[in-house]
Every structure is written in structure tokens, then in C-alpha cells.
Structure 1
Amino acid sequence: MSLMELTLRNVRRNFRIYTIYLLAMIAGVVIHFTFSSLMFKEDILSAMRNSANFQTGVMIASAAIFLFIIFFILYANSFFMKQRKKEIGLYLLLGMSESQVTRMLFYETIALGAVSLVSGILLGGLLSKWFGMLLMKLMEYDQTVSLSFPIEAIGTTVAVVLAIAVIISVQNLVMSRRVQLVELFRAKAAMEKPPRISAWLALLAVLLLGEAYGLIIAGRGSYMWVNHAQLSLALVAAGIIAGTWLFFRQFTGWMLLRLQKRARYFEGNQMLWTSALRFRTRSSAMNLSFITLFSAALILLTSFVAINYSVQFTATAANLPNDIAFESLGSGKDKELDQLIRSSTEHPVTDYRALEAIRVTPGTGMESAFENAEYFETEPLLVPQSVYQAFIEFRGDEERVQLSGNEAVALSQGRDMSVSYSRDDAPAFPIQSGSNAIELSIVALKDYALLGWASDPLTSMSKKPAVLVVTDEVYNSLRQGGAEVRTYHIYEIEDAGNAEQLSAQVHAVVKEANPNAYYSSFSDVYSKQIEGSSLMLFSAAFLAVIALFTLASVIYFNQLREATEEQRQYSILRKIGVQHRHIVSTIRKQLLFVFAPPLVLGLLHSWLIIDSYILESVQGYEHITGIIAGTMLAYFLIYFLLYSSAVNVYSRIVNRKP
């Protein structure tokens, strides 16, 4: 019998054993083809306003997804090979060489790879249409996505499958050469010793996690974070990492030990599942710790990008509150630009206003008035309170100010939240206007923009005007003293988000007349921000689901391996009269004890950080809590599905004859 015939016979005879491994490979191909085909779909590319950036983003995300696919399939193959050690040992005993065994395994990989390639591409093509429509909906584009199988995506998927086949073959070769023949037959006989449990180390796990949680809940305004930020960060990181590891290495073992000392330990099936778990705590501690920490990081990432997407529409409007705004270039150019803007039939003008401001020179650093001062122009603009109030009323915003004397409000847009000062604590901000010098008292820093970021159709945002609102008396006094007065023309137009072409025309005229003149357009940023945040959300969610599925699968495959090793023990239990329902109940409790702690700790780690730091920065968006709840619910469902599947497969394995 040739190696090829032996390979095909093995696949047919043991197809049930190959099912889990085959499904893992099909899942990897489906994921890769689904995502990579989005990069080559003409329907999607034609709708994109920044297709080059989109393709680059998808390419980077595809590389990250490919790494997780490799990890997932290699782990599945490792599980698959461990299940076949006895079979491989028999082949070697019968005289087959290691190279022949390796070739046989390579043929099996190619056969399974071919099946997974065809199946994965067909399923991936269907899913790519659905995901493409979802992406278009996220970007708010009314674009139909057709069912297609881009040849470029097929080519990259074939290359990926071949690469996986080669990597798996190398893994199989290493595994078969690294283990001695006698070990292949005794692979299942090795029994792990339970670790030594210390009540003090179990208590230390609780203290470390409690210390980290306490610092997180205290928030950024607490004494430790304000005065010792780096130390606080180090304590939180050390507490969560070390506390999580000790939780799985010592605290869970201590809990199991306490259960064994209970008077009711021998009642029901408690003895069966606790004794089995005690022998697994040493080997599973590192895996469960890594899964917990990485899962928490993934939930944080997904929640952050989901929040970023949900506030992007509002944030873009806050960053660029004016549809088109530019600095006066003289009566001739201003008239030309006015005619150009009003001649647009697709974007008719709905409102026009002129804003007058005084440009001054600061007498001190800008940091006292503007947070992240490097993003602002170095020469502030003064606007009178009455003009500011008129703009507020027109926009319908609730950002009124009431000033007197030399009081001023800094429009420090981009802060997490606005802040007000009492008269005694208000920072002094000296300014110079011509020969006049005055010291303003900054009574408030507002997260608000009167003039938005300067923008460019190609490079998006550049700098923000630094605007100070002062009393009408201060403003008029400086104006009459020969201050440098600037005028800004502000237009509101219909469908401003899609006015890229009009913006490019106006921008060209402005920069031709004065390259340093201020120009701002909502459309210059809107499409880039929405497309970028949509792709980031789509990619992060896709990656997070794959990563969580991969990490949960580590637990899944570990439990199936343990099920194979415990077949004989469960066979003995059946022979001495333990009923089937008691065995199933034991398996459920045993696996719940393995699946639940990473789930609970991962959710707890991430929720505390999200609640204390992210939600605090985006107050006023009520729907964000629902987004985070949805993210965590998806995380829970993935683990629950794998837990349920593991219980069913575990039960079937232990009920087979060893």
C-alpha cells in the first residue's frame, strides 16, 4: 500500500477524528478570504472617497488576522497530533521511517487543505457580500455590494493555505522527531502532580487584584494619579498581571482544597470534578492567565473603537462647526469666493455670517489657557462676548458665558471636559495688542470651538485657531487702540459632508491668494474620519471575535485532550455504577470551573477601566453604555457557545470505549 493510499484510508476511516481539525482549517480560510476580498471588491472601492487608505488599512488588518489564524490552526494541529501519538508510534514500530510518516502527514494536510480551500472560498464569498454591506452601512454609503470572488483574493488565500500547509508540516516533523518511541505509547499515562497550595499566596492574589481595582476606581482625579501617575500605572499593571496569575495558580487551588475539606465533599459528584481539577491547576494557570489578560485587552480595544465610531459624527461637527470658513482676502477675492460658493446647485447656501476678531500676542505660555497648546495657533484671537453669544444662539448650543472686567473664557476645544475657576484661582494670561498690554483672567476653559480646525482637502486637519472670549468693553478698547483686526467669512451649506469638490475649488482660490490664510471645511475631514473610524471599528470587531474565539479554543482543545486522557477513569466510574446523568453533571461543573473564571475576570478587568476612564471622557453619549454592553455580550456568547460545545464533545469522548 502506497503512502497516498494509506493517507486516504486514514482520512476515510477516522473522519470523525479529523472533523475538529478540518473545521478549524475551514474557519481559517473563511475568515481570511472574507476579509481580504473586501480589499478587491470594485463595488466597495468605487464608493470609497479614500480607497488607497482603505486598502492600506485592510492590508494591515489582514496581516494581524493572518497571525491569529496561524496560531489557531497550529494549536488545533498540535491537539490533533497529540490525539494520534499512539497511531504514529505504531507506524514507527512497524518499520516506517520518520520521513515517511512526515510525508504521510503532509499528504493529509494537503488533502484537508484542498477541502478547506474550496469550502472556505465558497462560504467566504457569501460572507464577504454580507460584511461588505455591513461596512457600507457603517460608512453611511448607499452602495449595493454584489456577490463576487475576486481573483486577487483567491490567489492570496491559496498562498495562505500553502503557507499553512508548510508550517504545519514543519510542526509535525518537529513533534515526531522530538518524542521517543516509548513516549508515544506512554503519552497518555503521564499524570500531573497537584501544585503545593499556600493560603498566603491565595490571599496575596486577592490583595493584588484589590489594590489594582482600588486605584482604577479612584480615577484620574485621585491623589495617587495626580501626584504619582507613573507609580499608579505600574501598581495597576503589576496588580492585575500578578494577581491574575496567582488567582489561577493558587487561589483556585485553595478553593478546591477548601471544597475537599467540607463535610459534604463525598455527597453527589463534588468529589469527582474537584479532584480532577486539582491535578490541572499547574498546567492551566499560565494559559488561563494569558487568556484572561488578552481578552480584557481585546474588550478594551473593541470598546474604544466602537465608542470612537459612535462619537465620530458628533466629534467631527465639534472640531469643524462651520461648513466653510475662510479668512478675508480683500474685497475682490472675498466677492469671487462668495460667487463660487453660491453658484453651487448641489450645496446651496443656507446661512452666511462674518466674524470679526482681534489678533494678539500672548505674554506667557499658551498652556495656561489651552490644553494641548501645540495644536493651537500661537497668536490668539479675541472675540467680544456679544458676538460669541449671537453665534451660540444661532447654533442652538448651551455654552453661554457671563463676563465682567478683564475676565476671559478660553475656547480650548479638545479637552475631556470644561473647567471653571473662581476669581481667586483664575490663571492670569497677559496679552499684547500693538502698544496696549492687558492681563486677562481666565475664568473658564471650554471644550468648544467657534472657529474649527484649519483644514486641507488632501491633508485633513492642521491647526486650531486659539480663541478667547472677552467682554465687549475690553474688545472695543483694544480695537480703538489700533489692534490688528481679522475678518472671517462663515458659510452654512446643504449636504456639507459631501461637498469635497466645492471645498477643493474654494481652497484652491484661498491658498493661491494667500498660502498662510485660514481655511476650514467640514467636508475635508468628514469623509476621512467616517471612513477611517468605520474601517477601524469593522477591523477591530472582526479581529476581536477571531482572537477571542482563538483564545477560548485554547481552553476548548485542552479540555478535549483531557477528555481523551480520562476515558479509562470514566469507564471505571460507569462500571462501578455511576449513572450517565451524574457523569454529565460532573463534566459540566468541571468545565464551568475552567471556562467561567477567565470570562468573569476578563469582563471585570475591562469594565472597571472602561467605566473609570473611557466613559468619563465621553459623558453625554447615553448610547455608549449600550455599545459596551453589546461588546461584552458578544464576548460572553462566544465563551458560552464554546463551553456548551466542549461539554457535548467531552461527554461523547469519555463515553467511548478507551
Structure 2
Amino acid sequence: MSLLDLTIRNVKRNFRLYSIYLFSMITGVIIQFTFSSLMYNKDIMDALQNRDNFQTGVAIASVVVFLFIIFFILYANSFFMRQRKKEFGMYLLYGLDEKQITRMVFYETLFISAISLVAGVLLGGLLSKFFGMLLMNLMQYDQAISLNFPIQSIASTAGVFFLLAIIISVQSYMMVNRVQLTELFHAKQKMEKPIRTSAVMAIIALLLLGMAFGLISSGKGSVFWQEYATSSMIAVAIGIIAGTYLFFRQFAGWLLQRISRRKTYHEGNTVLWTSSLRFQIRGNTLNLTFISLFSAAIMMLLCFVTINYKVQFEAVGRNLPNDMAFHSLDNATNGEIDDLIKSSDHGVRYHLKQEVLIASPLTDMNVAFDNPEYFTPDIQLVSEQTYNELIALRGHDQSVKLQGNEGVILSQGSDFPMPFAPGEQPGFTVKTDTETTFKLVEKKDYAYLGWASDPVASMLIKPAVFVISNEAYQSLQEHANKKSFEIYGLQDAKNAEELSKQVHAIVTQTPGAYYSSFADVYSKQIESSSLMLFASGFLALIAIFALASVIYFKQLREATDERLQYAILRKIGVENREMKSVIRKQLLFVFLPPLVLGVLHSWFIIKYYILDSVKDFPELTGMVWGIMGVYFLIYLLFYVSSTNIYYKIVNENH
């Protein structure tokens, strides 16, 4: 019998085992092809405004996807090979050497890879259309996505899996070559020893986790983070990592030990599901610790990019509140720009010409502005009436009412916007032809003109603006330098990139002229945040799938090892229903703790360090719980699948 005949016979005889491995390989192909095909989809490329950035982002994400696929496939192969150690022992006994077994495994891998490639590309093509539509929806582009099977994606996917076949063969050779023949026959008979547990260490595990959660929930404004930020960060890291490790290493074992000492321990099936778990703690500790911490990191990343995506739509409007605004030039140039705008596809909703006074600050800019390096060095004074006129057209509830020398700072992007209480209002002195001190009554996180922009470089610098009372403005008007700005409200402003390029080219012929356009930033910000959300969601799904698979494959391996014990239980009269109950409880103890700890770690950090910073978006809390709900659902599916297959394995010879 040739190696090829032996390979085909192995596949037929162990189809159930091969089907699990085949499913892993097909999943890997689908992931790789689906993601890579987005980069070569013509419909997507036609819709994008920033193609180079998109392709760079997808290329970087593809590398991460590839690393996850390698991890997932190699772990699946490790499980697959361990299940076949006794089979390989027989081959060695019959005279085959390690190289022949490796060649046989290589043939099997190529055969499975070929099937996986065909099935995965077909399914991946359908999914790539779906994910392409999802990406366009995230970017709010009305672009139809056709069903597409790019040759480049098929070739790259085939190349990746041929490379994986070689890596798998090397891994298989190393696993076969480093184990002695006698160990191959008794590989499944090794039993781990129950770990020694301590009530003191179990309590320390809970105290470490409690300390970490307490420091996190104290919030950014607490003394721990204001005065001892580095020490607090180290304490939180130690609390979460060491606390999670000890939770699985000591607390779980201590809890099982306490259960075993209860008077009712021998009632029902408690003794059956707890006894094997006590022997598995040592081998599961690192896996469960890693899964808890890594899944928490994945959820935090996904929640962060989701919040960032949601906030971006309003953030662009806050950063560039005017659809188009520029320094008023000579009448001929202003008329040329006005004609250009009116002849475009973007109707004019309003057009204002507004005047400001230019002043030099004599007081430190830090008194009025957070991060003053992002603002112009001079101050632009706008009257209460002029400011309120524009705010009314925007429909924003940000109007002001001032008198005398009162002023309001427009510190857009401020970390701490606030009204100043009477008696605590700081003074700020500016100079026109004379020095004037304004009493600052409020610092607003709001913009009158917004960032100066560029169609290529995006945001450049923010004008520093004070709103002052009408009477103060009038008293300074005759003796100060003035500037005027043309401010336009446009229809469909987010798609006005081409118009913005044309107007920008005219305005910038005057050196130093201010220009700002909503469209310059919108497409870049939304496309980048949409791609980040899409890629992070894709990677998070893969990561959670891979991490859950770690538990899944480990439990299947333990099910194979425990076949004999369950056969004995069946012989002494334990019914199938009781065995199913034992399996469900045993696996629940393995699946549930990493789920709970992962959610707790991520929720505390997200709640107190992200959600509390975006309180203007109350709907984000529901979105975060939705993400965690999906995480829970994926683990639930793996748990149900594991219990079913576990039961089938232990009943295989029944």
C-alpha cells in the first residue's frame, strides 16, 4: 500500500476527526480570502476618496489576520496530531520512519488544503460581497458591490495555505520525532496531579482583582490618578494579571475543594463533574488566564474603535463647523468663488460675510485655551451679535449674552469646558492699539471658524477666538485691525471634495489666507474610522473565535482521554441524561470564568476611562453592551457545540 493510498484510507476512517480539522482550514481560507479581496474590489476602490490610505490599512490588517490564522490552524493541527499519536506509534512499529509519516501528513494537509481552498474561496466570495456592502454602509457611501473573485486574492490565499501546509508538516515532523515509541502508546494515559490550593492564596486573588477594580472605578479625577498615576497603573496591571492567574490557579481549585467537603457532595452528580476538574486546573490555568486577558483587550479595542467611529461623525462637525469658510479677499476673487460655488451641485443654504478684530494676547494663552499650541498666536475678537447670527443658522444651542468687558473663550477641543463662577472669573488682556482686559465668564468647547484645512493635509491650525459684548466690540472697532470671512452653508457638504479643491486653489493664491472646508476632513476621518472599525471588528471576531477554539479543542482532547472513565460510569448504571448533565456542568466551569472575568476587566476600563469621557453620547453604553453580548453569544455557541461533541466522543464506542 502506497503512502497516498494510506492517506486516503486515513481520511475515510477518521472522517469525524478530519471534519473538525477541515472546518478549521475552511474557516481560515474564508477569513484570508474575504479580507484580501476587499483590497482588490473595483467597486470599493471607485467609492473611496483616499484609496492609498485604505490599501495601506488593509495591508497592515491582512498581516495581523494572517498571524491569527497561523495561530488558529497550528493549534488545530496540534490537537489533530495529539489525537493520532497512537496511530503514528503503530506506523513506526510497522516499519515506517518519521520522514514517511511526515510525507503522509503533508499529502493529507495538501488534500485538505485543496478542499478548503475551493470551499473557502466560494464562501469567501459571497462573504466579501456582504462585508463590502457593510463597509460602504459604515462609510455612508451609496455604492453597489458586485460579487467578485479577484485573481490576486485567490493567488495570495493559495500561496498562504501552501506555506501553511509546509509549516504544518514541519510541526508534525517535530511532534512525531521528539516522542519515544513507548510514549506514543501511552500518551493518552498521562494524568495531571491535582494542584495544592490555599484559602489564603484564594483570598489574595480576590483582593488583587478588587484592588484593580477599585483603582479603575475611582476615575481619572481621583487622587490616585492625578498624583500617583504611574504607581496606580502598575498596581492595576499587577492586580488584573496576577489576580486573574491566581483566580484560576488557586481560587477555582479552592472552590472545588470546598465543594468536595460539603455534606451533600455525594448527592446528585456533583462528585462526577468536580473530580476531573480538580485534575485539569494545572493544565488550564495559563490557557484560561491568557483567554480572559486577551479577550478583555479585544473587547476594549472593539469598544474603543466603535465609540471613535460614532463620535467621529459629530467630531468632524465640531472641528469644522462651517461647510466652507475663507478669508474674504478682493471683490473680484470673492465673486469668482461665489459663482463657482453656485454653479456646483451643492446648493447654497446661506452665505454670510462676517467681520472680526485682530488682537495680540498679553496674558498667557494657557489661561484661556487648552493646548494653545494648536491655536493661532493672535486673538480674533467677534461680537456677540455676529456670533449669535451664525449660531442661529447652524441651529446650535450655543448662543451667548454678554455685557461690558465680559468675554467667552471658544476653546474647541477643551478637556475642561466650564462656566466661571462670579468672583472666580479670570482676566485676559489683549492689545489692539490699546490694552483691554476682558473678564472671562465661560470656556466653551465650541468653534466659530474651526480648523484651517487643506484637501491633502487635512487639519492645520485653529483660529483663537473670543466672543465679546457688542459694546466692547464697538469701542474697539475704530482702532483695531479687521478681517472679514466668507462663510457658506452648503447642501450635501460631505461630498464636496472636488468643489473644495477648486476653491482652495483660488484662496491659497493669497499667502496666509484662512481656508476651512468640512469636506476636506469628513471623507478622511470617516473612511479611516470606518476602516478601523471594520478591521477591528473582523480581527476581534477572529480572535474570539480562535480563543474560544483553544478551550474547544482542549476539551475535545480531554474528552478523548476520559472515554474510559465514562465507559465505567455507563457500566455502573449512570444514564445518558445524567452524563449529559455532568458534561454540561464540567464545561460550564471551564467556559464561564474567562467569560465573566473578560467582561469585567473590559467593562471597568471602558466605563470609567472611555464612556465617562463622552457623556454627550448616552447611546454608546448600549453599543458597548451590545458588543459584549455578541462576545457572550459566540462563547455560548462554542459551549453548546463543545458539550454536544464531548458527549459524542465519550460515547463513541457505545
The TM tier, using the shorter chain, reads over 0.9
Matches within 5 A, 1:83-232: 83-232=83-232
Residue matched to 1:18: 18
One-letter amino acid of the counterpart of residue 216, structure 1: I
**In 1: Cα distance, 2:367 partner to 2:196 partner:** 57
Matches within 5 A, 1:374-393: 374-393=373-392
Matches within 5 A, 1:210-289: 210-289=210-289
For residues 609-639 of structure 1, the C-alpha deviation after alignment (integer angstroms, 9 at most, x for no partner) is: 2221211222232332222122111101100
Answer yes or no: is the 8 Å Cα contact 1:241–1:293 preserved in 2: yes
**In 2: Cα distance, 1:218 partner to 1:354 partner:** 49
Answer yes or no: is the 8 Å Cα contact 1:385–1:472 preserved in 2: yes
Instruction: Find 1:522's aligned residue among 518, 525, 542.
Output: 518
Q: Secondary structure at the match of 2:267?
A: coil
Q: Secondary structure at the match of 2:396?
A: coil
Change (3 A) 1:408 1:237: farther
**In 2: Cα distance, 1:442 partner to 1:225 partner:** 29
- Choose 400-409 or 230-239, whichever is displaced more: 400-409
One-letter amino acid of the counterpart of residue 250, structure 1: Q
Q: Tell me the C-alpha RMSD between the 2 structures.
A: 1.5
For residues 554-578 of structure 1, the C-alpha deviation after alignment (integer angstroms, 9 at most, x for no partner) is: 0111101111111111111111111
> What's the offset of the Cα at 1:642?
0.3
Answer yes or no: is the 8 Å Cα contact 1:86–1:185 preserved in 2: yes
One-letter amino acid of the counterpart of residue 559, structure 1: Q
Change (3 A) 1:314 1:298: same
Instruction: Find 1:648's aligned residue among 644, 649, 654.
Output: 644
**In 2: Cα distance, 1:215 partner to 1:402 partner:** 42
**In 2: Cα distance, 1:205 partner to 1:418 partner:** 41
For residues 380-409 of structure 1, the C-alpha deviation after alignment (integer angstroms, 9 at most, x for no partner) is: 212122222222222221223343444322
One-letter amino acid of the counterpart of residue 17, structure 1: L
**In 1: Cα distance, 2:103 partner to 2:641 partner:** 33
Residue matched to 2:53: 53
**In 1: Cα distance, 2:570 partner to 2:139 partner:** 58
**In 1: Cα distance, 2:175 partner to 2:264 partner:** 45
**In 2: Cα distance, 1:53 partner to 1:622 partner:** 31
Change (3 A) 1:254 1:619: same
Residue matched to 1:624: 620
Q: Secondary structure at the match of 2:437?
A: strand
**In 2: Cα distance, 1:150 partner to 1:653 partner:** 41
> What's the offset of the Cα at 1:364?
4.0
Q: How many residues align?
A: 654
**In 1: Cα distance, 2:205 partner to 2:423 partner:** 47
Answer yes or no: is the 8 Å Cα contact 1:417–1:617 preserved in 2: no
Unaligned runs of 5+ in 2: none
Instruction: Find 2:455's aligned residue among 435, 454, 457.
Output: 457
Answer yes or no: is the 8 Å Cα contact 1:208–1:240 preserved in 2: yes
Answer yes or no: is the 8 Å Cα contact 1:416–1:617 preserved in 2: no
- Scaled by the length of structure 1, the TM-score of the pair is 0.97
Q: Would you say 1:594 and 2:590 are equivalent positions?
A: yes
> What's the offset of the Cα at 1:423?
3.6
**In 1: Cα distance, 2:23 partner to 2:188 partner:** 25
Matches within 5 A, 1:157-556: 157-344=157-344, 346-416=345-415, 418-434=417-433, 436-480=434-478, 482-514=479-511, 516-556=512-552
Unaligned runs of 5+ in 1: none
> What's the offset of the Cα at 1:85?
0.7
**In 2: Cα distance, 1:477 partner to 1:232 partner:** 53
Q: Secondary structure at the match of 1:517?
A: coil
Q: Secondary structure at the match of 1:279?
A: helix
**In 1: Cα distance, 2:293 partner to 2:427 partner:** 46
**In 2: Cα distance, 1:425 partner to 1:219 partner:** 26
> What's the offset of the Cα at 1:207?
0.9
For residues 125-174 of structure 1, the C-alpha deviation after alignment (integer angstroms, 9 at most, x for no partner) is: 11111111111112222211111210011011011111111111111111
**In 2: Cα distance, 1:108 partner to 1:338 partner:** 70
**In 2: Cα distance, 1:507 partner to 1:656 partner:** 73
**In 2: Cα distance, 1:288 partner to 1:520 partner:** 52
**In 2: Cα distance, 1:406 partner to 1:93 partner:** 98
Answer yes or no: is the 8 Å Cα contact 2:403–2:470 preserved in 1: no
- Scaled by the length of structure 2, the TM-score of the pair is 0.97
**In 2: Cα distance, 1:378 partner to 1:281 partner:** 63
One-letter amino acid of the counterpart of residue 376, structure 1: F
One-letter amino acid of the counterpart of residue 153, structure 2: A
Q: Secondary structure at the match of 1:450?
A: coil
> What's the offset of the Cα at 1:442?
3.2
> What's the offset of the Cα at 1:447?
1.1
> What's the offset of the Cα at 1:374?
2.5
**In 2: Cα distance, 1:171 partner to 1:424 partner:** 74
For residues 332-359 of structure 1, the C-alpha deviation after alignment (integer angstroms, 9 at most, x for no partner) is: 3223222222232x11212011222222
Change (3 A) 1:473 1:229: farther
One-letter amino acid of the counterpart of residue 511, structure 1: T
**In 2: Cα distance, 1:446 partner to 1:196 partner:** 60
**In 2: Cα distance, 1:551 partner to 1:586 partner:** 24
**In 1: Cα distance, 2:316 partner to 2:500 partner:** 16
One-letter amino acid of the counterpart of residue 371, structure 1: D
**In 2: Cα distance, 1:568 partner to 1:534 partner:** 52
> What's the offset of the Cα at 1:417?
5.6
Answer yes or no: is the 8 Å Cα contact 2:326–2:514 preserved in 1: yes
> What's the offset of the Cα at 1:123?
0.7
For residues 460-498 of structure 1, the C-alpha deviation after alignment (integer angstroms, 9 at most, x for no partner) is: 111111112222333333333x22211111011111111
> What's the offset of the Cα at 1:452?
1.4
> What's the offset of the Cα at 1:582?
1.1
> What's the offset of the Cα at 1:112?
0.7
Answer yes or no: is the 8 Å Cα contact 1:566–1:654 preserved in 2: yes
**In 1: Cα distance, 2:179 partner to 2:406 partner:** 80
> What's the offset of the Cα at 1:589?
0.3
One-letter amino acid of the counterpart of residue 54, structure 2: F
For residues 417-474 of structure 1, the C-alpha deviation after alignment (integer angstroms, 9 at most, x for no partner) is: 622222443344332324x223334332211111111111112111111112222333
Identity %: 57
- Choose 156-165 or 8-17, whichever is displaced more: 8-17
**In 2: Cα distance, 1:597 partner to 1:425 partner:** 52
**In 2: Cα distance, 1:374 partner to 1:193 partner:** 62
Answer yes or no: is the 8 Å Cα contact 1:416–1:618 preserved in 2: no
Q: Secondary structure at the match of 1:626?
A: helix
